[in-house]
Structure 1
């Protein structure tokens, strides 16, 4: 499955009735850039086929950022049917996998 770029105007509609992981990033964030190919690879992992992978530019979308309380980048949030399950700032793939497994 592809990683879908969302913004403040379509963010909430992308969460309804779905299991979602959201990656928050900024263009200037080196760790965010390094994690991008890992996130794309995880989105294609069969173990997570029922989960949608979204990405949000945290600097350009303040409402989406506030929704989960982004405090550092990269920041990942898992959302189940519009409700935040967990959110954390990390650049460790193992931690993101654990978040996905809890959601799955």
Structure 2
């Protein structure tokens, strides 16, 4: 499955029209964000997460989406179920992201 890059324009629609969503918030200047991108792409293809929509959001260019996720630092990951924020955290440890996504099941 692909990781879709979205903005404030389509954030609300995508979050509410997909049951299970994980969002990676990033900024262009964030080195750890860039380093995590291949891992996030790989996780999006992991069969354990079938049915989960994977999204990338530029936190600097999408302030409404950033607020919706409660972003405190970057990279920041948030999971939404049926349009509601379940949980989020700042960090770049793959096992912590896997644990977060698993909360959607």
Structure 1 match to 2:91: 90
Gaps of 5+ in 2: none
Q: Report runs of 4+ in structure 1 exceeding 2 Å deviation.
A: none
Between the aligned partners of 2:34 and 2:7, the Cα distance in structure 1 is 18
TM-superposed CA distance for 1:53, in Å, is: 0.1
For structure 1, the residue ranges without an aligned partner over 5 or more in a row are: none
1:9-57 deviations in Å (ceiling 9; x for gaps): 1000001142000000000000000000000000000110110000100
The count of corresponding residues between Structure 1 and Structure 2 is: 104
1:62 is displaced (CA, Å) by 0.5
Query: For residues 1-104 of structure 1, what are the structure 2 equivalents within 5 Å?
Result: 1-16=1-16, 17-104=18-105
RMSD across aligned C-alpha pairs, in angstroms? 0.7
TM-score for the superposition, normalised by structure 1:
0.97
Partner Cα distance (1:59, 1:81) in 2: 25
SS at 2:9's partner residue?
coil
